[in-house]
């Protein structure tokens, strides 16, 4: 609808400056201040005009809208005069400068002072004491749109993380970085949004291309896993570039810590480069150790609750979940179902626990964006999660290779891996082989005491990712203590071990850890079982340490030739004697079993009988 | 005291502008800047004057006070000239504009630019990068007084949350909301403060009037509890309007979660409307589940410690405590004593645990501002806390009725309530009756795993307060798991149940859960007892599952006709055999008992004998 | 290198103002804005110059560097004109005002507007919505340097807490305090830094001199410990003045809480005076109770992880560790090694546990900056940590003496000390002797329930450091409950105590707390043992309460005359029977023992035999 004079009523957006105004144009304006001689009105956030009392129809309130006609423009004095046009009903026409759409990466500090228009996905919103800062990306880079509503308040409250927006405004420099002083900000919907997301995804694909593959070790399974490893690396890189937080979940043992730290170390420098926010490392990346050898319900529910709270509180996107040294087995499925099916999160896994592959596929695969596991390509758990994660870390960020290349050897020692292809890299960095053992044990010992904290600030020193001097002191001090403690424990428990040799020649050692070992102290029952086993092992030995309702089992390598498979035995007993409540498992030759306390004797006798009859 | 010329020495407060000055007036001023030709002095925060060197007695330091006489006022140039008046001792007289006292609600955006004077209680103080923002209310609404001392510093450090203040200043617009630019701010004491508080309370009473009472169910006890329910609703509404934080404590089972969520859901929209602070929901409302079926010391001490820390850290008031599905019994009294008698907090309770009413009064009543419990009006625990809390939630905020009306039916299933009056509302929202059971069990199962976290972000989905799709997926996934787990557990434990029939025909089932059930896993002993009972129940059955120092009991409804009352039996055994350390209770027909481990046989035999002799 | 005209190319730092410029000087400048008629360039952050198109060689970009010659200076209009000097290679010469180096304490509000140069160690960095604020000290006081890069961004990212810097700039007033508006900020290295630190340390030594020593009690060991106590007090004072955070670790019993609170109360007023940051008390001082009677690995690792995270997150220095009522024994050494040897922290200890002094030195001494313990000077544990800490607190801050002087008497009651020299101060403040007992028990009871939270906000009330009224109500309410609970427990357990008298006349009481006491409830086994002992004690009595793998022992004073020493007995059994896994200790006459569950009978019989044979 035109005004009574058939002139359009214009509404100037933030791209309009004094130079764009013309005499006799009509504008919708807002009263901003009343003075003795008239009122000042805002044409937009940049231009103020004066309407003198003579040119006003009656009193005006601050905030009132009216239509004004431009009657004088003085560019030198930066002054505009208007006269009120009495109109009740009218439609407005947006007056805006035509600006071409640019890519985010095209905005550089050299463009300061120029008008730009870009589209991007909002990846963060920060309310400051001054303007609200929207961080956005279109996949080609990040930029910031500063939007001042009134100082300290959240501008554009209807726009939040995950939305696609179009921003126009002048580029200014903020801390040397270009930033858009928002003249207008609009949420895109429907087709515009879909098209944008497709293009953004293409850009991300390009930017996260893995160019160089140069494995640290020469293991045939690595090559077969190459594509899968690239996929995990790409998902992680895409998350960083797209401003998606990353949550790393890892098993709380030496192999798990190596896995988690390798990925974390690869991410941090890219994150720092991508996001100038010094707090990014606290918001965008979290690492949490898991007690159980799988992603327990307790852990996943905590992760979901925290992620949803962070999303609401800090205006973040929901995270990418990276599970390392866990995540591959059927026991992980309840967690994955909640993450993926219910809450639509993306999950990637690097693990070496047996995923029970059937026809090249693991049962967990249907929930995962990407999955690396040696069993998927004919390998086994000797290629540990820490080894695989370090390789993936180097794909993500090849520049950290020298910094982390000694870690797979530590992971291997922690998990008693027979694969020795990584030891040379540790030797390169001055670590003797017995030091690797010590470091792995120190990870166990220290992390046992800091419980399920992430150990940030200490674990780096243990794993030789920080100061060398500190690393050496900490490992020596800790090793001396734990070695002493193990020796003392061994002296006290060995007299209580019962040794027996079956007629088939298998040696069977048992220890009642409830009665003859320290409780709720380091070393834990699993560790004790290993210590006893290592001490008393001959060919074909099985060692079993038991409590009132559980036992831990370790078998010599030779036992597998005799057909010993712990998981199989557990399944058989469960079928024969369901009333024992038996449950558990692990590797073929090492694992733990739970049963009803009242059925302990029945379970242990049955177990012994099966071993004696191998 | 007058000046030597008998002229008063004035001190201009922030309401004084250049127009209010007159030639030859004396003012106390502060030196703000030294220049070559003299010093600039501040008459108040808005007006600066110049004293030229000729008119100064000697050198001045920045910050120094002196008395100046106005010798020239140029309103066009906004300039004032003064000459120093040499005075050592003098008294000052405040110069201020007379402004009428207004109510907070009278300040609207139309008043921008006008001077206002209001009184209010401070309900929050926020130090920003710019001014300090005081939030205040007089019961008629909230407003904000911005006070700039120097950017980023806390203005008026002697004024804090809970104080009554009088503020004068010009109204400006901040994010579209009116705000007072503080010209003066004064703490009121004594009578002025008392009178203010009385008037504020009257205003709050008016604003929190419950108009519409329209219960979801047609239960006679609801009507009798109407006034008590209104009281609880009013206390909660008053707290929101008065800017008092609210802490909801609820029992950590399905009935408790429903109770807590209903109240939370009622509060959030009002809070959002009342407080423009987007972080209000994190500061002003907290919900915490309690493991015990009463308000344990551990819980209340944590609440007190956190509340006092928040008060100090975030300049908040102490919270209103809302206890739901807990809080009515003698076991709650230690917590209430600390909250109410020691720290002077207000507590309201909605519960359905038996408060042991004597002459219409419960022992906890003396500590509570308001108390809703069916036993107070002849009802019983079948009208569960979740039902009552949902009704109260609708009184607080009738607009959420449709959103939450399906929840009482879930609460009822969770607590095995026999009252079915709420099921129709769940059916209305598309929930079949067997789904209600599932949802209640899923609350149990999931919350068992997230431990004593509040479950925010997930519990809403379980209780169908969020996306329908997510609700269905989560409940189905969780239900399948828990159902499988229960079936597996049942298969394993049933062979260990000992069934016996006494000569009086009562069937007595016992299970040693220490020996024949999984430990520290779902389902917990109480749940196991229920499963066994439901499986084996015939007329007059008692099921008992015991561990080394505790047992859980469930009895059929028919048992009450035979005079079975668990609480009574416990009391009798305690009196007969105090050396057993027996303790515990619950409902008549279901509860748990603790005793000394060494006295287990004595206690169980005695218990069996009493049942056999009914 | 000179310019082609042999004129130096100057680079003006922030101390240069328009008045310091001269015609025809060459300056390196940055293009800040392009206009139709030329470009504006920045000479420094304060002075802008214009280069008209005629005087420019081609187009310039914003941010581009060039060399300009001054061709006109108009001081009235504040305008400078330049012409570009075409130079490709040149070196610049810093142009700066000569300013004398001042001490921080010399900057006062009277210096507003003057230029200052100071050196200081950075003790905190705060990024605000406006400038970044660097807090610095040279030991003579604290000051602040505000540095604006661009609003909201972290200025000088290469300068962080712990660095030594030199700052120049004009003094302005911020909240009445002087602050430097940074014109230049430079990190000092090498000699300059070392010299500075030496001078700073001298200043700190001077400022933390303990003048008045006036002990509350007249105990000979106090005098002998005077120098050590002064050392602890000085380390703490130095930490406050140097902006180093302080972490107090104390044992979680009444003596420990008194110790921790006394030190905290001494620090807070000094901290408030030193640092104007209202959040200082949350950042700079933390207090954490420890469950174990020594500094466990679990505790120290948590402390280290948090300290390193705080350092990274909040740009703080690593803390001074103050261990009270713990820290003196060999069991503390693993913690101390990590803190001191690995992470280079400073630790001071006030304790009364026997440090096993050899030739005047305790084994822990090599790790400590200062150590107070009565055993170091021939005293014993009757002079408790709470007494010693209160004395040290008064050395730190004599003004709080009246506020805290009643606390040592409470500490004494808590630890059953026989030294009564402090009781008079409690009586002075209106506390009867039996109230002291009650307060000590209430600390135990309440802190048992708030677990290992620090109890802030409640512990002050219990210890009568807050409102008297609240103190009385809380102690009474709590005491009534705990007394009732103890009586009830006593009634239930006494029938199960087995009393025996050996032929040597020693009375030996035993109680199986696993079988005949409440578990995981107040009172804990140690407390129960004490209750039984106090109830049944005659001359020469030993009371022992045992669980499956532990026992707690209490002996009458007379037993020491008979040569009873618990620690000795434990050592002997460990040597005789290592297979029992025996471990533990405490005081001579009270402590706890752990052993393998399967060896309990062997241990208890051996123990009894040794007592019977004394």
**Full 3-state SS string of C456-487:** CCCHHHHCCCCCHHHHHHHHHHHHHHHHHHHH
**If you measure CA to CA, which chain A residue comes closest to B172?**
A62
Q: Taking CB atoms and an 8 Å limit, are C308 and A457 in contact across chains?
A: yes
Tokens representing residue B58 in the block: 């000697």
For residue B283, what are the contacts with CB-CB under 8 A and spacing of at least 6? B245, B277, B310, B314, B316
Q: pLDDT tens digits for B370-418?
A: 999 999 999 999 999 999 999 999 999 999 999 999 999 999 999 999 9
Å from A491 to nearest chain C CA?
7
Across B176-185, B282-291, C135-144, C402-411, the highest mean pLDDT is recorded for: C402-411
In angstroms, what CA-CA distances link A536 with A499, A540, C580? Answer: 9, 11, 21
Cβ–Cβ gap A549/B519 under 8 Å? yes
Residues of B in contact with C173 (CB under 8 A): 62-63, 150
- Asked if the C-beta of C334 comes within 8 angstroms of chain A's C-beta atoms, the answer is yes
CA dist., res. B104 & res. B137, Å (int): 7
- Preferred mutation among B596, B601, B602, B603 to probe C, highest tally of C CBs within 10 A: B596
State how far the alpha carbon of A1 is from the alpha carbons of A4, A5, A12, A90, in Å.
9, 11, 17, 6
Q: pLDDT of C59-81, one tens digit each? A: 888 778 899 999 999 887 778 99
| Minimal CA separation from C284 to chain B, in Å | 14
If you count residue pairs, one on A and one on C, with CB atoms under 8 Å apart, how many are there? 110
CA-to-CA distance for A278 and A84, rounded, in angstroms? 50
CA nearest C266: which of C142, C392, C428, C372?
A: C392
Contact call for B112 and A152, based on CB within 8 A: no
User: Please, which residues 561-590 of chain C have a Cβ atom closer than 8 Å to chain A?
Assistant: 578-581, 583
Phi-psi region of C89 (alpha: psi -120 to 50; beta: other; left: phi over 0): beta
Q: pLDDT tens digit string along C18-50?
A: 888 999 999 999 888 877 788 889 998 778 899
* Spatial distance between the Cα atoms of C328 and A342, rounded to a whole number of angstroms: 54
C partners (3+ CB pairs within 8 A) are A, B
Q: In chain A, positions 249-288, which contact chain C (CB-CB < 8 Å)?
A: 278-279, 282
What's the pLDDT score for residue B299?
96
* DSSP classification of residue B319: P
CA–CA distance, A171 with A183 (Å, rounded to integer): 10
Query: Of B69-83, B101-115, C3-17, where does mean pLDDT reach its minimum?
Result: C3-17
Are B130 and A152 a contacting pair at CB < 8 A? Answer: yes
Percent of chain B with pLDDT over 70: 97
**Residues of A whose CB is below 8 A from B130:** 129, 151-152
CA distances from residue B225 to B325, B376, C14, C222 in whole angstroms, order as listed: 16, 8, 74, 66
Among partner residues C173, C473, C516, which is closest to B598 by beta-carbon distance? C516
Under a CB-based contact definition with an 8 Å cutoff, are residues C567 and C585 in contact? yes
Q: Which of A366-380, B47-61, B333-347, C289-303 has the lowest mean pLDDT?
A: B47-61
Q: Determine, for residues A456 and C308 on separate chains, whether the beta-carbon distance falls below 8 Å.
A: yes
What is the H or E stretch that residue C417 is in? none
Q: Does B520 touch chain A (CB under 8 A)?
A: no
Residue C277 has pLDDT above 80, yes or no: no
Q: What is the mean pLDDT of chain C?
A: 91
C339 has a pLDDT exceeding 70: yes
User: Which member of A109, A279, A470 has the closest CB to residue C63?
Assistant: A109
pLDDT at B178 over 90: no
Smallest Cβ–Cβ distance between C297 and the set A449, A470, A496 belongs to A449
Task: State mean pLDDT over C187-197.
Answer: 94
pLDDT, one tens digit per residue, over B264-319 is 999 999 998 887 666 778 889 999 999 999 999 999 999 999 999 988 887 888 99
Q: Is the pLDDT of residue A387 over 50?
A: yes
Q: Note whether C45 contacts A: Cβ–Cβ < 8 A.
A: no
Q: At A28, is the secondary structure helix, strand, or coil?
A: strand
For chain C, say whether A110 makes contact (Cβ under 8 Å).
Answer: yes
pLDDT: is C111 or A427 the higher one?
A427
Contacts of B295 in chain C (CB under 8 A): none
Lowest-pLDDT range of A252-261, A485-494, C109-118, C282-291: C109-118
SS3 string, B47-76, reads: CEEEEEHHHCCCCCCCCCEEEEEEEEEECC
Mean pLDDT of A422-443: 96
pLDDT the model gives residue B1: 40
**Token pair belonging to B431:** 């929930």
In sequence order, the 6+-apart residues with CB closer than 8 A to the CB of B226 are: B213
Q: Is C40 on the interface with A (CB under 8 A)?
A: no
Average pLDDT value for chain A:
91
Confidence at residue B116, expressed as pLDDT on a 0 to 100 scale: 94
What ipTM was estimated for this complex? 0.85
DSSP 3-state of B425:
helix
Whole-number percent of chain A with pLDDT over 90: 68
Q: Which residues of C touch B297 (CB under 8 A)?
A: 446, 449
Residue A533 · residue A509 · CB < 8 Å: yes
Instruction: Kindly state the percentage of chain C with pLDDT values over 70.
Output: 97
Token readout for B577 is 């055999």
Q: Between chains, do B596 and C491 touch, taking CB under 8 Å as contact? A: no
pLDDT at A4: 56
Whether B110 and A63 lie within 8 Å, measured CB to CB: yes
When pLDDT is averaged across residues C268-282 and rounded to a whole number, the result is 81
- DSSP code for C250: E
Q: Record the tokens describing residue A329, joined without a space.
A: 């087995």
How close A274 gets to chain C, by Cα (Å)? 16
pLDDT digits (tens, 9 = 90+) for B71-92: 999 887 778 999 999 887 888 8
- What average pLDDT score do residues A202-214 get? 90
Does the pLDDT value for residue B161 go beyond 70? yes
Percentage of residues in chain B having pLDDT higher than 90 = 69
- Whether A439 contacts A426, CB under 8 Å: no
Q: Do A128 and C338 touch (CB under 8 A)?
A: no
Tokens of B568: 């009574």
Q: What is the pLDDT of residues C214-242, one digit of tens each?
A: 999 999 999 999 999 999 999 999 999 99
Q: State the average pLDDT over residues C109-118.
A: 86
pLDDT for the residue A90 = 87
Provide the terminal-to-terminal Cα distance of chain B, rounded to the nearest Å. Answer: 94
* Neighboring chain B residues of A342 at a CB cutoff of 8 Å: 461, 470, 473-474, 477
CB atoms within 10 A of CB B564: 21
Instruction: Please name the member of C113, C446, C516 whose beta carbon is closest to the beta carbon of B62.
Output: C113
Which of A152, A302, A597 is opposite residue B514, by nearest beta carbon?
Answer: A597
User: Distances from the Cα of A130 to the Cαs of B66, B109, C122, in angstroms?
Assistant: 36, 22, 27
Q: How far is CA A507 from CA A537, A543, A556, A560, C18, in A?
A: 8, 8, 10, 14, 93
| C290 vs C251: CA distance, rounded Å | 5
């Amino acid at each position: 609808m035109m005004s009574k004079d058939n002139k359009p009523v214009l509404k100037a957006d933030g791209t309009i400056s004094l130079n764009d105004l013309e005499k006799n144009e009509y504008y919708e304006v807002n009263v901003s201040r009343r003075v003795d001689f008239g009122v000042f009105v805002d044409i937009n956030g940049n231009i103020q005009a004066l309407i003198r009392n003579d040119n006003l129809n009656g009193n005006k309130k601050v905030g009132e809208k009216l239509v004004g006609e431009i009657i004088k423009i003085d560019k030198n004095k930066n002054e505009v005069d208007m006269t009120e046009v009495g109109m009740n009903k009218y439609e407005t026409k947006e007056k805006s400068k035509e600006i071409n759409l640019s890519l985010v990466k095209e905005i550089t500090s050299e463009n300061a002072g120029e008008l730009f228009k870009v589209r991007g996905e909002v990846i963060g919103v920060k309310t400051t004491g001054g303007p609200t800062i929207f961080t956005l990306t279109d996949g080609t880079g990040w930029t910031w749109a500063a939007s001042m509503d009134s100082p300290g308040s959240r501008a554009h409250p209807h726009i939040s993380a995950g939305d696609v927006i179009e921003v126009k405004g002048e580029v200014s420099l903020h801390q040397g970085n270009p930033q858009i002083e928002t003249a207008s900000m609009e949420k895109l919907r429907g087709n515009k949004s879909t098209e944008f997301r497709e293009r953004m995804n293409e850009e991300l694909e390009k930017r996260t291309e893995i160019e160089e593959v140069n494995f640290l070790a020469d293991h045939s399974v690595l090559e077969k896993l190459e594509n899968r490893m690239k996929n995990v690396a790409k998902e992680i890189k895409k998350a960083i570039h797209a401003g998606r937080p990353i949550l790393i979940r890892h098993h709380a043992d030496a192999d798990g810590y190596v896995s988690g730290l390798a990925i974390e170390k690869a991410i941090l420098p890219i994150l720092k480069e991508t996001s100038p926010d010094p707090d990014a490392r606290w918001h965008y990346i979290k690492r949490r150790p898991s007690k159980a050898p799988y992603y327990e319900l307790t852990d996943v529910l905590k992760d979901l609750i925290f992620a949803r709270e962070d999303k609401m509180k800090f205006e973040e996107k929901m995270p990418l979940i990276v599970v390392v040294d866990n995540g591959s087995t059927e026991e992980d499925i309840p967690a994955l179902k909640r993450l993926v099916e219910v809450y639509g999160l993306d999950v990637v896994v690097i693990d070496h626990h047996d995923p029970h592959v059937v026809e090249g596929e693991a049962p967990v695969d249907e929930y995962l964006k990407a999955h690396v596991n040696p069993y998927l390509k004919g390998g086994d758990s000797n290629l540990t999660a820490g080894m695989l994660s370090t390789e993936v870390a180097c794909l993500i960020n090849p520049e950290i290779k020298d910094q982390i290349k000694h870690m797979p050897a530590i992971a291997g020692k922690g998990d008693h891996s027979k694969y020795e292809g990584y030891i040379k890299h540790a030797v390169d960095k001055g670590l003797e082989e017995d030091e690797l053992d010590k470091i792995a044990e120190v990870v166990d010992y220290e992390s046992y005491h800091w419980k399920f904290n992430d150990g940030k600030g200490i674990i780096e020193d243990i794993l030789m990712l920080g100061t060398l001097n500190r690393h050496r002191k900490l490992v020596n001090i800790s090793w001396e203590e734990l070695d002493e403690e193990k020796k003392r424990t061994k002296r006290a428990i060995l007299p209580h071990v019962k040794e027996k040799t079956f007629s088939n020649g298998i040696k069977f050692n048992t220890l009642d850890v409830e009665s003859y070992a320290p409780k709720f102290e380091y070393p834990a029952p699993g560790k004790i079982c290993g210590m006893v086993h290592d001490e008393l092992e001959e060919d074909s030995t099985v060692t079993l340490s038991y409590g009132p309702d559980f036992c831990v089992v370790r078998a010599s390598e030779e036992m597998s030739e005799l057909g010993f498979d712990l998981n199989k035995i557990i399944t058989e007993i469960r079928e024969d004697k369901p009333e024992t409540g038996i449950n558990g498992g692990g590797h073929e030759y090492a694992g733990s079993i739970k049963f009803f306390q009242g059925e302990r004797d029945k379970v242990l006798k049955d177990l012994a009988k099966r071993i004696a009859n191998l």
